[in-house]
Amino acid sequence: MAKSGRKLYFKRKRSRRLFRLGIGFLLLVGLVILILVFFNPWVWRLDLRSELEKGRFATTIYDRDGVPIAGLYAKTRLWAPISEIPIALQNAFVATEDYRFYQHKGIDFRGIIRAIYQDILAGRKVQGGSTITQQLVKNLFLSHEKSVLRKIFEMAYAIRIEQQYSKEDILEYYLNSIYFGHGTWGVQGGAEVYFGKSVNELTTSEGAMLAALVKSPEYYTPYRNPKAAIERRNLVLSLMQKHGYLEKTETEKLVLEPIGSLDRPGSTYVGAYFVDYVLSVLKQRTNYSEKYLRSAGLNVYTTMDREIQAVAEDAVETLPVSDLNQSGVIQPQGAAVIIKQSTGEILALVGGRRYNPAQLNRAFEIHRQPGSAIKPFLFAAALETGYRPETKLIDEPLEIIINGQPWRPQNYDAKYRGEITLRAALEESVNTIAVQLVQRLGAGNVFALAQRMGLENLVAEGYRNDLGPAPLALGGLTKGVTLLELTGAYTSIANQGTRSKPFGIFRVYDMSGKLIYQDRITQEPVITPETASELTSMMEGVVTRGTGIRANIGTKAAGKTGTTNRNTNGWFIGYSPEYLAGVWIGNDRSDQPLIIKGVPFGSGTAAAIWGGILRRISAKTAITPPNLPRR
């Protein structure tokens, strides 16, 4: 026998052995299930209606004054009787999730055997074997932990439910218990959130779209990932055809339909984008799912100042409108972050205009080139090593060899000023002076200080890295920065040389009152107070007579503009004695310039928005201390 033949023989033998072991395991599980079903009195008292009506406990998010943020995480679960759920929608779920639903008695042993066989052939888990009844059990009665014991209980409950309820009842409860993302459970809620209509009005294609979401509502949401959503919906339609619910001609027609004109789920409360940020942080740091966080009855106390948040949201909405992108989102977009620089508390965070929960949160989810908004970190390095604001350098044409190629940095106005002070060079954002400083100080030294000040995504290795004059002087960073990251890094200057790491959550308590998460003020001295004071003085000139003059609010303020190549991003990061704020404007397509009716705009508009925010919030008497429960 050839070597390859022997290898195939042993592989098949091993697969058969594993398959027999799987069957043996199923028999053992079946025995345990029988014992549970017939001797466990609790299993005999399953009540789907009361369990579903218990629902989940809405998590409450509070602002810094201890006031709940209106409408937050209130569960959307609207009951839809089976008589009002279109047959086509029912068929879509059955075809996709459990095509033998009407044949089995709660457990599809044929499906389990098929799944085990497919998993063995693939060498990994590729197919699930849970029936609709088992999924209903998981949704209502059991945790989502993965263990053999939980799976056995799931099967036992499924058998009992099939004994107590009709298939029609089970399907009705199931379709009202599914999570569809965006805080929504049940097909009625899903129909309203995704299509703005009642479930009984859904078309076959729309019903298939809801069925497509079950596998991963966060990934397949058509608001965020329309291409994947269409592909998944089309798979559902093909499964409906395969199992006899659609004719081939119907399927061919339906797969060509667009998802439709979706009314994006909106927000009527202040702080929706801030809540997105809070949810993202908790998902990362607690490893809980979004579904759990929304429905676990948590009490989350945040740093958000409702009044300042409202001002920031209004300011971002003042951006001019150019067009809608292919997803129907207004362009250009904007974002704003406001921080209490002395502590790092995030007072406001706005990730875009006209909030909907599936759009990007542009305050912390997108990375863009900062342009000249990076220059304060370079000038901080210069001041730390002995340069002074009145130190003079020559603004003149430069040629630098980088990777064997000549590079000639240009000033934004294509002019050269001759001898110029560092103060004037920062005020007028002179690129040639910034490039000379990187050369004189050493890219490694500037890089290290910028990292300590808070630019945590700088790249030190690889062919494309940030150890050079273009990234460190002009902001052409490999990965870019988020608005929150860049604004947070400015705390190092605004807080007299001490970096205050931004945070948005004070405490999180579970339903029993147990503290399960807490953020604290995290600070680190990174530059001397003298350097911070001198740099603030220089950046005040940016506002009073330099590139950021549109941010001039008539009182003490300092900041820096930033514009990237081809005018694709506009930034202004600045601070008053009380507040540090950052504003970004740009299009969701990173290569699309900021132009309206043929007129380009950028950092000047960002500076004007910043000024509008600071004028309004500066009238606020003081930032209130957090109102936290005493426990």
**Residues tagged active-site:** 97, 372
b/e map of 297-317 (b: 16 or more CB within 10 Å)?
Answer: ebbbbbbbbbbbbbbbbebbe
The answer to whether 422 touches 433, Cβ cutoff 8 Å, is yes
Tokens linked to 288? 């809980």
Sign of the CA dihedral running 330, 610, 360, 377: positive
Element (H, E) at 210: helix 204-213
Asked if the bond preceding 332 is cis, omega within 30° of 0, the reply is yes
The answer to whether 179 touches 66, Cβ cutoff 8 Å, is no
Sign of the CA dihedral running 382, 388, 389, 392: negative
The answer to whether 78 touches 188, Cβ cutoff 8 Å, is yes
What phi and psi values does residue 301 have, to the nearest 5 degrees? -105, 120
Q: How many other CB atoms are there within 10 angstroms of residue 457's CB atom?
A: 14
List, in sequence order, every residue forming a beta bridge with 189; answer none if it has no partner. Answer: none
Three-state SS string across 90-107, please? HHHHHHHHCCCCCCCCCC
Residue type (1 letter), 81: P
Half-sphere exposure of 96 (CA within 13 A, CB side): 23
Tell me how far apart the alpha carbons of residues 365 and 280 are, in angstroms, rounded to a whole number. 10
Q: How many other CB atoms are there within 10 angstroms of residue 109's CB atom?
A: 15
Tokens 């047959």, residue?
87
Tell me how far apart the alpha carbons of residues 143 and 335 are, in angstroms, rounded to a whole number. 38
The answer to whether 582 touches 337, Cβ cutoff 8 Å, is yes
Chain-centroid distance, C-alpha 132: 30
Tell me how far apart the alpha carbons of residues 272 and 356 are, in angstroms, rounded to a whole number. 8
Strands 60-62 vs 299-302: parallel, antiparallel or unpaired:
parallel
What phi and psi values does residue 247 have, to the nearest 5 degrees? -80, 160
What phi and psi values does residue 70 have, to the nearest 5 degrees? -55, 135
The answer to whether 599 touches 326, Cβ cutoff 8 Å, is no
Tokens linked to 374? 């990076």
Contacts of 89 (CB under 8 A, 6+ apart): 175, 187, 199, 202, 204, 207, 210, 211
Three-state DSSP class for residue 19: helix
Helices (H) and strands (E) in the chain — how many of each? Answer: 24, 22
Tell me how far apart the alpha carbons of residues 326 and 348 are, in angstroms, rounded to a whole number. 29
Three-state SS string across 481-509, please? ECHHHHHHHCHHHHCCCEEECCECEEEEE
Strands 345-350 vs 333-340: parallel, antiparallel or unpaired:
antiparallel
Strands 323-324 vs 60-62: parallel, antiparallel or unpaired:
unpaired
